[in-house]
């Protein structure tokens, strides 16, 4: 029996040790963007240890049960089952450690079930990663799996039968409840959770303390359930906090357009946050956007609602806020009941078309766009095969911009039927490979390429007879983690929004604080169309817009900007990370509560 107990103890200690080493590797691999002191490693290991101890117990349960069985059965089947479990654990740990370390620089949060949403389109998901990194990852996976298997299987006992089974039976029966109590995190009301390891005002140190395996497994609760509900206040208190925040009327707003029925083109610029434009003081990366801001209507204080393209798509087209732990684009049963700009315009006589140069099935983009009211969709399958492989994500931007311009060139100024085109660019995305070499930094160069495509696109449209009736709206989907910017940086969520074209009455700068979600009400207000079904979209040009603010969500957190400053709130730790304004915290929680309540009724 002694050999069995030592085997279980060695298995448990080995698992915990692997978790500790993985944390150190994670910190060292990400130290370039997140510098830390040597002493921080000890603090991370110490504060994260409770979660590591609990997580290791989850993986000890099968060996414990098999050891229990070994009191009666000691044949080959038992050893095969034990080996199979350890090989599975070795694979799971290897995948978790590699994915967590590799994805963190891009996502800015710990490994969770979000990654599984991209398995349906693995080619598109892999487009973010250079080929050498994929090969390196596969090599590391094989090496780690082999190493972990050896550590787990080393000196595994022969499980010889016992004559007197009573002591072993009693001991194992005592271990089972202790194991489950340890997995739960004790006997208190609070169970094991990620927030228990948070200890620092530096998010990276908190994230480093989180066990990636536990983070992945625990995220299924929020990811699988699409009816996520937030409840912070009684209903009447929540309503009071939101009074005059979301108004659905357009009253006394200025007319910015020369016609109430322009042809409309909305270009969603991949990742082109304000950090690459005049907002961040950069005149060299996006000279065309900077120039065009002086020629059209420039919304200088617009902010992204979310941090991912699939979430931003619903924010822009549906005027519906994003959520910290779910993507509405992927939930067809819910997004089918949301309002959408394309559907509203289609009901008003517009034709509706959408262009995307990549796999339009990625993150269920096709189904959402159809639900949103787009009649015709164009994707990489509509281009020759050789063009689909010139970019990791699909057909490069300059080719698709030309295709969109060709479509617009067929429109007649005398056409009584107005047209709507939506277009999501894709080249300004990892791995930042573009057919353009103007700047040394590959990230900045990719946005210079996007800007070059936009400049050529607008210059070509100016030459068309339909220009005088054309409204072109440019806005990004989100910013990007780059050069030290992350979710704690206001600049990352600050994005440019430009309205251009001959349908614009005169150049103007709109300084009102707003979100992507406000495009719906603001645009429809200019078109003199009702938008009362867009419950969370505000016409920022209306006299009813009295409480300007911008709201943004990221993985289990939110941030907010208003006239008093910038706030970042971590929902996991239930505390502010940047700023400490109780009024904004209560308002942000009220927004989550009300929007999740509304969504639950869809």
The residue ranking higher by pLDDT, 252 or 284, is 284
Using CB atoms within 10 A of its CB, is residue 139 exposed (0-12), middle (13-18) or buried (19+)?
Answer: exposed
pLDDT for res 187: 67
State yes or no: pLDDT of 355 exceeds 80: yes
- In the sheet that holds 575-578, the strands lie side by side as 550-554, 557-562, 565-570, 575-578
Note whether 305 and 560 are within 8 A (CB): no
- Is 263 strand, coil or helix? strand
Range among 151-160, 331-340, 454-463 with highest mean pLDDT value: 454-463
327 vs 257, higher pLDDT: 257
Res. 224: pLDDT tops 50: no
Q: Which of 301-310, 480-489, 548-557 has the lowest mean pLDDT?
A: 480-489
Q: What pLDDT, on a 0 to 100 scale, did the predictor assign at position 597?
A: 94
pLDDT of residue 568: 96
Phi-psi region for residue 436, left (φ > 0), alpha (ψ -120 to 50) or beta? beta
Assess whether pLDDT exceeds 60 at residue 226: no
- Of 541 and 126, the structure prediction assigns the larger pLDDT to 541
329 touches 364 (CB < 8 A) = yes
Question: Residue 504 — φ and ψ, nearest 5°?
Answer: -80, 125
The structure tokens listed for 589 are 């929680």
Average pLDDT over residues 505-521: 97
Give the separation between CA 81 and CA 60, rounded to whole angstroms. Answer: 14
Return the percentage of the chain with pLDDT > 90, whole number: 59
Q: What is the pLDDT of residue 318?
A: 97
What local confidence, expressed as pLDDT, does residue 112 receive? Answer: 75
Indicate if the pLDDT at residue 127 is higher than 70.
Answer: no
Q: How far apart are CA 507 and CA 186, in angstroms?
A: 63
Query: How confident is the model over 401-412, as pLDDT tens digits?
Result: 999 999 999 998
Residue 223 — pLDDT band, cuts 50, 70, 90?
Answer: very low
The pTM (predicted TM-score) of the whole model is 0.78
Give residue 251's pLDDT: 87
Whole-number pLDDT of residue 588 = 97
In sequence order, the 6+-apart residues with CB closer than 8 A to the CB of 592 are 230, 232, 323, 324, 553, 558
Among 53, 52, 44, 5, CA closest to 25: 44
Q: How confident is the model at residue 315 (pLDDT cuts 50, 70, 90)?
A: very high
What is the domain partition of the chain in residue ranges?
A: 2-224, 255-600
First to last CA, the chain: 58
- pLDDT class of 367 with cuts at 50, 70, 90: confident
Backbone angles phi, psi at 385, to 5 degrees: -55, -40
pLDDT at 4: 76
Structure tokens at 72: 């009666």
pLDDT tens, position by position, 464-504: 999 999 999 999 999 999 888 889 999 999 999 999 999 99
**Domain 255-600 falls under CATH 3.90.550.10:** no
What's the CA gap between 213 and 513, in Å, rounded?
Answer: 40
pLDDT band at 164 (very low <50, low <70, confident <90, very high): low
What pLDDT band is residue 225 in, cutting at 50, 70 and 90?
A: very low
* Tokens (6 digits) for 468: 């005088």
Smallest Cα–Cα separation from 198: which of 597, 510, 557, 499? 557
Residues in the chain, total: 602
Mean pLDDT of 146-170: 74
* Per-residue pLDDT band at 41 (split at 50, 70, 90): very high
In DSSP notation, 530-556 reads --TT-TT---TTSTT--S--EEEEETT
Tally of CB atoms within 10 A around 379 = 21
- Site of tokens 């645009």: 523
Residue 195 reports pLDDT greater than 90: no
In the predicted structure, residue 27 carries a pLDDT above the cut 90: yes
**Higher pLDDT among residues 176 and 580, named by residue:** 580
Residue 523, strand partner residues: none
Rounded to an integer, what distance in angstroms lies between the CA atom of residue 423 and that of residue 340?
Answer: 15
Q: Among residues 398, 442, 400, which one has the least CA distance to residue 421?
A: 400
Q: Cα–chain-centroid distance for residue 529?
A: 32
Is the pLDDT assigned to residue 513 strictly greater than 90?
yes
- Between 152 and 409, the more confident residue is 409
Determine which of 37-46, 360-369, 497-506, 574-583 has the lowest per-residue pLDDT on average: 360-369
Q: Higher model confidence: residue 131 or residue 87?
A: 87
Q: Cβ(219)–Cβ(114) under 8 Å?
A: yes
Is the predicted pLDDT of residue 335 greater than 90, yes or no?
Answer: no
**CA-CA-CA-CA dihedral for 566, 571, 577, 583, to nearest 10:** 40
DSSP-derived secondary structure letter, 191: P
More confident residue, 58 or 71: 58
Q: Is the pLDDT of residue 539 over 90?
A: yes
Helix (H) or strand (E) holding 183: helix 166-184
């Amino acid at each position: 029996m002694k050999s069995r107990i030592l085997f279980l103890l060695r298995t448990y200690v080995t698992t915990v040790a692997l978790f500790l080493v993985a944390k150190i590797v994670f910190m060292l691999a990400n130290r370039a963007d997140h510098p830390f002191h040597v002493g921080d490693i000890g603090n991370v290991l110490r504060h994260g240890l409770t979660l590591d101890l609990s997580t290791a117990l989850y993986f000890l349960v099968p060996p414990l049960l098999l050891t229990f069985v070994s009191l009666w059965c000691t044949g080959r089947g038992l050893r095969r089952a034990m080996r199979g479990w350890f090989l599975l654990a070795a694979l799971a740990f290897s995948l978790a450690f590699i994915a967590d370390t590799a994805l963190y620089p891009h996502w800015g949060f710990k490994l969770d079930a979000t990654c599984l949403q991209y398995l349906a389109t693995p080619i598109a998901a892999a487009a973010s990663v250079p080929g050498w990194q994929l090969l390196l990852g596969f090599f590391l996976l094989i090496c780690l799996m082999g190493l972990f298997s050896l550590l787990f299987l080393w000196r595994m006992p022969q499980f010889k039968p016992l004559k007197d089974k009573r002591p072993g039976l009693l001991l194992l029966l005592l271990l089972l409840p202790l194991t489950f109590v340890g997995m739960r995190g004790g006997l208190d009301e609070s169970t094991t959770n990620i927030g228990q390891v948070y200890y620092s005002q530096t998010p990276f140190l908190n994230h480093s303390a989180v066990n990636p395996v536990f983070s992945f497994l625990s995220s299924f609760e929020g990811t699988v359930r699409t009816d996520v509900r937030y409840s912070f206040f009684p209903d009447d208190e929540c309503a009071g906090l939101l009074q005059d925040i979301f108004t659905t009327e357009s009253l006394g707003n200025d007319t910015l357009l020369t016609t109430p029925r322009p042809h409309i083109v909305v270009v969603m610029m991949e990742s082109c946050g304000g950090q690459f434009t005049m907002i961040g003081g950069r005149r060299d990366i996006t000279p065309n956007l900077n120039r065009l801001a002086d020629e059209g209507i420039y919304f200088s204080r617009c902010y992204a609602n979310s941090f991912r393209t699939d979430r931003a798509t619903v924010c822009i087209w549906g005027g519906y806020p994003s959520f910290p732990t779910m993507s509405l684009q992927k939930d067809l049963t819910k997004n089918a009941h949301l309002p959408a700009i394309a559907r509203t315009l289609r009901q008003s006589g517009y034709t509706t078309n959408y262009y995307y140069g990549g796999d339009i099935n990625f993150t269920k983009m096709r189904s959402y766009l159809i639900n949103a009211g787009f009649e015709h969709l164009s994707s990489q399958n509509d281009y020759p095969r050789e063009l689909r492989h010139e970019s990791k994500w699909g057909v490069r931007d300059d080719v698709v911009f030309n295709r969109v311009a060709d479509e617009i060139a067929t429109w007649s100024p005398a056409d009584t039927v107005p047209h709507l085109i939506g277009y999501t660019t894709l080249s300004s995305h990892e791995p930042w490979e573009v057919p353009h070499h103007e700047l040394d930094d590959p990230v900045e160069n990719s946005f210079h390429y996007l800007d070059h495509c936009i400049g050529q696109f607008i210059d070509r449209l100016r030459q068309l007879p339909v220009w005088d009736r054309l409204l072109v709206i440019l806005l990004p989907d989100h910013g990007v983690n780059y050069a030290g910017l992350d979710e704690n940086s206001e600049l990352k969520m600050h994005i440019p929004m430009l309205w251009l074209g001959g349908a614009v009455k005169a150049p103007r700068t709109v300084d009102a604080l707003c979100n992507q979600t406000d495009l719906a009400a603001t645009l429809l207000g200019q078109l003199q169309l009702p938008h009362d079904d867009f419950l969370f979209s505000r016409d920022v040009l209306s006299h009813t817009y009295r409480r300007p603010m911008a709201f943004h969500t990221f993985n289990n957190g939110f941030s907010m900007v208003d006239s008093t400053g910038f706030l970042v709130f971590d929902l996991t730790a239930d505390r502010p990370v940047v700023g400490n304004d109780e009024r904004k915290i209560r308002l942000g929680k009220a927004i989550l509560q009300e929007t999740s309540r509304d969504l639950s009724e869809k």
